[in-house]
Amino acid sequence: MDCPDCVHLARNSGFCFGVKRAIQIAQDSARERNRIFTLGPLIHNPQMVARLKESGIQPIDDVTQIGAGETVIIRSHGVTRETLEYMKIHGIRYIDATCPYVSKTQQDGRLLSNEGYTVLIIGNREHPEVIALKSYVDGENFVVISPDDFPKKKFGKLGIISQTTQPLDKLKEIVHHAIPRCEELRVFNTICNATLIRQNSTRKLAARSDLMIVIGGRNSSNTKMLAHISSEIVETHHIETASEIDRSWLERKKRIGITAGASTPDWLILDVYNQIIKYTGDRERMVENVEDIPGSKEE
Amino acid sequence: MDCPDCVHLARNSGFCFGVKRAIQIAQDSARERNRIFTLGPLIHNPQMVARLKESGIQPIDDVTQIGAGETVIIRSHGVTRETLEYMKIHGIRYIDATCPYVSKTQQDGRLLSNEGYTVLIIGNREHPEVIALKSYVDGENFVVISPDDFPKKKFGKLGIISQTTQPLDKLKEIVHHAIPRCEELRVFNTICNATLIRQNSTRKLAARSDLMIVIGGRNSSNTKMLAHISSEIVETHHIETASEIDRSWLERKKRIGITAGASTPDWLILDVYNQIIKYTGDRERMVENVEDIPGSKEE
């Protein structure tokens, strides 16, 4: 970086593929209907959820809250087979925006149990993705998050799949533990590397910045993780919107870095960038698209 | 151990299941025939090979050395599919004494390649077991002995099998390395733990002995490994027969331990035990069966 007072966006930040796709599907569907529902908030970003509500996309907690003829968007985490069944029986229409990587994991889980494997799911037992995934496994199965959770028994055919956002090292650790405990082990590497890529990108940008601004829902796990990683390297502020920026943060900072979680929409990132530029006084550097922010297309 | 001047045999020592079975098959077959061949020495023990020769069991290097109507014993390592085919075409009869654990590995390799997996074989490229095993894999396959040998590419479906005598840690290490390099990993744990059990048993006995005698062919890898392990704990001598025992070794040794490789027959172990007892002067303690040697049935 040779420019003084520059503001850069992390190369990999903002919506991941699955989130972008789910939002697109929801918005396209809302255009054709008066109202439409999502099972739980579509993403962990309050500003985006509020904007979706304006388009008639309403979150509900449970399918029993709505009746026949209504339409539900299945969010990127997927839903249980039981919920799907309920909707079919009760005439609730659904549009499936399950992330294709999550669908693949569900298919892998089903294949393993159909072929007689005991299935080990690596993930958080309470996470909606894991709850949905588990419903696709018919036979014996276990959810583990560390080798300590490993069942105290020997297995014949053991299959392993993972919640898509788990770290690769966790998968390696569990497999290491599983090898001497079974005769045959079949592992589907179902981890999506969007999370890892965003973390690496943040780490890289933080290392060459005097200040980092991390944008995303305070309820977003992956955004909180980005803020944590960044804060270990340089002064970091986690915000949801541009209005939270305190001008004093920017004083005597030559190089400012911006990053955003996988559930943070582009318009929030754009707002933050332009707000910072405004404070620098050089309004000519303001941009209209996220793609025009320096760094966003960097190799 | 509370007895002075005691001589103990390691709980797990001598013939493993596969070797015992192969010898039995060879001896039974030899009784019905004038002469019979083995492809390579049946086991890595010169004394046992010499005794088998007396029963008409002759090692050859290559099936092309014999003609139609002759009978060959396939030893515990197995043979290539090409050799089997050659024998069928040329009217050579064969008796299959392949270790069932090795046969299982061959079947696993075949299954993986039939189901479209690239097959990674962990083992020594030059070992007869690996050469035979590789012939059962039709599609793309690699033999690796360390992560450094790992092909520099990404795999879709990757299958892993191992030479039966490789250490478990090697399998774990290769699997660890494979996980981020493929989409699906299928591992058959084809390691036979006879080797590990003998090593642990030797380690245990060496730790409570003043002297260890390790019996087995000087060309036997697993016997050499037992001698190496033992020598790091206590004074150790690797011998092939009782006649090699130097009486001076026994001086001022209260506790003497004996162990033997997986290719060492019981009669050689018995000879060594009784020879040591003779030197102690207490001939009443001599035994007629290996099972009667103290320690051999210990839990």
Q: At what angle do helices A168-178 and B168-178 cross, to 10 degrees?
A: 150
Q: Rounded to whole angstroms, how far apart are CA atoms A242 and A193?
A: 28
The verdict on a CB contact (< 8 Å) between B179 and A184 is no
Q: Which residues of A touch B (CB under 8 A)?
A: 168, 171-172, 175-176, 179-180, 182-189
Query: Considering only CA atoms, which of A79, A36, A78, A76 is closest in space to residue A59?
Result: A36
Tokens of A144: 């583990």
| Chain B residue numbers touching A189 (CB-CB < 8 A) | 179-180, 182-185
When pLDDT is averaged across residues A145-173 and rounded to a whole number, the result is 93
DSSP B4: T
Number of residues written out for chain A: 299
Both tokens of residue A3? 């420019």
Please tell me the distance from the alpha carbon of residue B64 to that of residue B70, in angstroms, as a whole number: 11
CB contact under 8 A, B184 and A184: no
The DSSP code for B147 is: G
Note whether A158 and A118 are within 8 A (CB): yes
pLDDT tens per residue across span A258-283: 999 999 999 999 999 999 999 988 88
- φ/ψ region of A123 (left if φ > 0, alpha if ψ in -120 to 50, else beta) reads left
From chain A, the residues in CB contact with B167 under 8 A are none
Q: Answer yes or no: do B168 and A180 touch at CB < 8 A.
A: yes
CB B286 within 8 A of CB B1: no
- Give CA torsion, residues A96, A100, A104, A105, to 10 deg: -90
Structure tokens at A178: 């599983």
Closest-CA residue of B relative to A188 is B184
CA dist., res. B186 & res. B209, Å (int) = 43
Q: Which of B172, B185, B189 sits opposite A182 (nearest CB)?
A: B189
CA distance B45 to B210: 27
DSSP per-residue string spanning B130-170: HHHHHTT--SSEEEESSGGGS-SS-EEEEEEEE-TTS-HHH
Phi and psi at A101, nearest 5°, equal -70, -35
The 3-state DSSP class for residue B125 equals coil
Confidence of residue A32 (pLDDT cuts 50, 70, 90): confident
Residue B298: the pLDDT is: 61
Q: How confident is the model at residue A296 (pLDDT cuts 50, 70, 90)?
A: confident
Residue numbers in A near B171 (CB within 8 A): 179
Q: Which of A125, A137, A194, A205 shows the shortest CA–CA distance to A163?
A: A125
Question: Which pLDDT score, from 0 to 100, does residue B61 have?
Answer: 93
Q: Which residues of B touch A186 (CB under 8 A)?
A: 184-187
If we measure between CA atoms, which residue out of A265, A221, A210, A224 comes closest to residue A242?
A265
Contact A189 B183 (CB under 8 A): yes
Q: What is the pLDDT of residue B196?
A: 87
Looking at chain B, list the stretches that DSSP marks H as alpha helix, in order from N- to C-terminal side.
17-31, 46-54, 81-89, 100-114, 128-134, 168-178, 194-207, 221-231, 266-280
The amino acid at residue B78 is: G
Cα separations in angstroms, B143 against A232, A282, B137: 43, 62, 11
Q: Between β-strands A93-96 and B236-239, what pairing exists: parallel, antiparallel or unpaired?
A: unpaired
Q: Does B182 contact A189 at a Cβ distance shorter than 8 Å?
A: yes
Q: Report d(CA A4, CA A254) in Å as an integer.
A: 6
Measured in angstroms, the CA of A274 and the nearest CA of chain B are apart by: 39
**Both tokens assigned to A207:** 């290392």
Per-state percent for chain A, helix, strand, coil, to nearest 5: 45, 20, 35
Residue B186: half-sphere exposure toward Cβ, Cα within 13 Å: 18
ipTM here = 0.74
Helices (H), chain A: 17-31, 46-54, 81-89, 100-114, 128-134, 168-178, 194-207, 221-231, 266-280
**C-alpha angle B286-B287-B291 in degrees, rounded to nearest 5:** 145
Report whether pLDDT(A111) > 70: yes
Q: Nearest by CB to B186, from A171, A180, A186: name it.
A: A186
- Closest of A14, A12, A7, A11 to residue A269, by C-alpha: A14
The residue of chain A nearest to residue B161, with distances taken between CA atoms, is A184
Q: Are A219 and A46 in contact (CB under 8 A)?
A: yes
Sort strands A236-239 and A211-215 into parallel, antiparallel or unpaired: parallel
What distance in Å separates residue B179's CA from the closest CA in chain A?
7
Sign of CA dihedral A232, A234, A235, A237: negative
Residue B143 phi, psi dihedral angles, 5° rounding: -105, 125
Instruction: Give the number of other CB atoms < 10 A from CB of residue B265.
Output: 22
**Per-residue pLDDT tens digits of chain B, which is 299 residues long:** 334 468 999 999 999 999 999 999 999 999 888 789 999 999 989 999 999 999 999 999 999 999 999 999 999 999 999 999 999 999 999 999 999 999 999 999 999 999 999 999 999 999 999 999 999 999 999 999 999 999 899 999 999 999 998 888 899 999 999 999 999 999 999 999 898 899 999 999 999 999 999 999 998 888 998 999 999 999 999 999 999 999 999 999 999 999 999 999 999 999 999 999 999 888 889 999 999 999 886 64
Task: Give the Cα separation of A106 and A93 in Å (integer).
Answer: 21
Q: Identify the helix (H) or strand (E) that includes residue A122.
A: strand A118-122
CA distance A177 to A182: 10
> H helices within B142-287, ranges in order?
168-178, 194-207, 221-231, 266-280
> In 10 A of CB A128, how many CB atoms?
16
Return the amino acid letter for A241: T
Contact predicate A258/A215, CB 8 Å: yes
What is the number of CB-based contacts under 8 A between chain A and chain B? 53
Residue type, A224: K
Q: What DSSP character marks residue A234?
A: S
Q: How far is B141 from chain A (nearest CA, A)?
A: 18
**CA distances, B83 to each of B9, B92, B127, B164, B262 (Å):** 40, 11, 16, 21, 26
> Would you give the end-to-end CA distance of chain A in angstroms?
14
Angle at B292 between CA B288 and CA B298, to 5 degrees: 160
Instruction: Give the model confidence (pLDDT) of A209-237 as tens digits.
Output: 999 999 999 988 889 989 999 999 999 99
Verdict on whether the full-model pTM lies above 0.90: no
CB count in 10 Å sphere of residue A273: 26
